[in-house]
Structure 1
Amino acid sequence: MAPASLSGSSPAEALLSAHHRKKQPEQVRRALLDCAAQIAAEQGASAITIQAVAERAGVTKGGLLHHFDSKQTLLAAVFEDLLDKMDQEIDRTLADDPLARGRFTRAYVRACFSDRLLGERSLWAALSVAIVSEPALCSLWSTWLDGRMAQHAETDGDQRLVAVRLAADGVWLADMMEKDGGLKRYPQDFEAVLLAMAAT
């Protein structure tokens, strides 16, 4: 339910020589996250392994484990990175919305619909099953949502707006369970219906 488009170029191509990488740990960490995200978007979250990510990033397994000590840690970092991008997208949308009431809900709906047309190539779609089955990811999601709701309680606490956000979550769930059927059942223009409900 969020921004998940990935650039066409491989992060591994952006990495420098092994000698130079040692001096740029943040660049290596960024490349590892990008490579893990690409693997998830292409093959699903279950395809994220220490070996697969290390190979794609052009580092040793030991080099990867220096940054992420397990697959679960790496998966959580990919998810946190995705939440970070969702935050940025929502904040940009909030800044452009002059109506205070329901501002966060409208931004949330837009984020939920932003990459639906990517289908299984969406990183959110790829991580959906992992979110449901991995308690650590569920906890990250709940913490993120609780923080946002506390921040926007005054403008978005109304039960009608809660219902709109739950409807957006329902579309995400339908997409996850029904694949292309979700788009047929709830076409992309359903976003406009939810946005209109959040504006009244």
Structure 2
Amino acid sequence: MPASAYTRAKQPEQVRRALLDHAAAIAMDHGVSGVTVQAVAAAAGVTKGGLFHHFGSKQALIEGLFADLLGRVDAEIDAAIEADPKPRGSFTRAYVNAVFTGKAFGFTTPWAALSMVVVTDPSLRQLWNDWIKARLKRHRATDATPGLHVVRLAADGAWLTFVTTGQTRMSAELRTVHDRLIAQTYRRGS
């Protein structure tokens, strides 16, 4: 048994992380359809059996990839909320910023275009729905107004427009939309 395989067996979290990182890199380069069990296992330096030990199927790997992305988005949003001096609308501001300029999910990240799979894949759509419902429940006291809901929906619409038109940079028009949405979160009736 090679030393690297023995070491990896003792570090399952590192193997899982490597599988997710390599799957993400393949997805960004070749789309989600390029994420095959063989390609990910080979890139991570594990056998297909090793991959299946961590993810029972290709679908489980893809779901793990999106769950990992949502974890990164969560961390980014939590940090923004913590840094926001105004509690009212803080989740909505953090969400808008994550959608437009975020490091995990923003317009110019490789994930923006790949996230379109969420629209067509029922299990990924469920992951997204569960995530957003949990967030909205958690931030009910600060972000439950109809006006803030409209702001989040507008951000989603801007995201959809951005990814479906193949843009690679945020235009001046989208920057203006971003700024107006953020300003809306500070209005009293929102």
Aligned equivalent of 1:45, options 32, 43, 52: 32
The alpha carbon displacement at 1:191 in A equals 1.5
Question: CA offsets per residue over residues 20-51 of structure 1, 9 Å max, x none?
Answer: 11111111001001111111112211111101
Offset at residue 101 of structure 1 (A):
1.0
Aligned partner of 1:116 among 107, 112, 131? 107
Q: Describe the superposition over 1:105-125 as per-residue Cα deviations: whole angstroms up to 9, x where unpaired.
A: 00000100123234xxx1232
1:98 maps to 85
Aligned residue identity for 2:153: L
Partner of 1:143: 130
Match of 1:132 in 2: 119
TM-score, with structure 2 as normaliser? 0.90
* Distance (whole Å) between structure 2 residues aligned to residue 88 and residue 28 of structure 1: 22
1:171 maps onto 2:171 in alignment: no
Q: How many residues align?
A: 181
Indicate if the aligned counterparts of 1:171 and 1:186 stay in contact, CA closer than 8 A.
no
Q: Which moved more, 1:26-35 or 1:173-182?
A: 173-182
The letter of the residue matching 1:73 is A
CA drift of 1:176 comes to 2.0
Shift of 1:181: 8.3
Higher relative contact order (CA 8 A, sep 6+): 1
Kindly provide the amino acid, as one letter, of the partner of residue 123 in structure 1: W
In structure 2, distance between residues paired with 1:31 and 1:189:
39
Alignment partner, residue 12 of structure 2: 25
Counterpart position of 1:194 = 181
Check conservation: 1:40, 1:127, Cα contact below 8 A: no
Contact 1:174–1:182 at 8 Å: present in 2 too? no
> CA 1:182/1:160 → structure 2, altered by over 3 Å: closer, same or farther?
farther
- The gaps in structure 2 that reach 5 residues or longer are none
Q: Render the CA deviation track for 1:147-200: whole Å, top value 9, x for unaligned.
A: 111111111111110000000000111122111189448433432111111111
CA contact (8 A) 1:76 1:136 kept: yes
Aligned-residue CA RMSD in angstroms? 1.7
**Post-superposition, which runs of at least 4 consecutive aligned residues in structure 1 deviate over 2 A?**
181-190
1:34-113 correspondence runs (5 A): 34-113=21-100
Query: Is the Cα–Cα contact under 8 Å of residues 22 and 43 in structure 2 kept in the other structure?
Result: yes
Change (3 A) 1:174 1:134: same
Q: Distance in 1 between matches of 2:36 and 2:172?
A: 34
* Runs of 5+ consecutive residues of structure 1 not aligned to the other structure: 1-15
Aligned to 1:159: 146
Q: 1:181 to 1:127 in 2, by over 3 A?
A: closer
- What secondary structure sits across from 1:101 in the alignment? coil
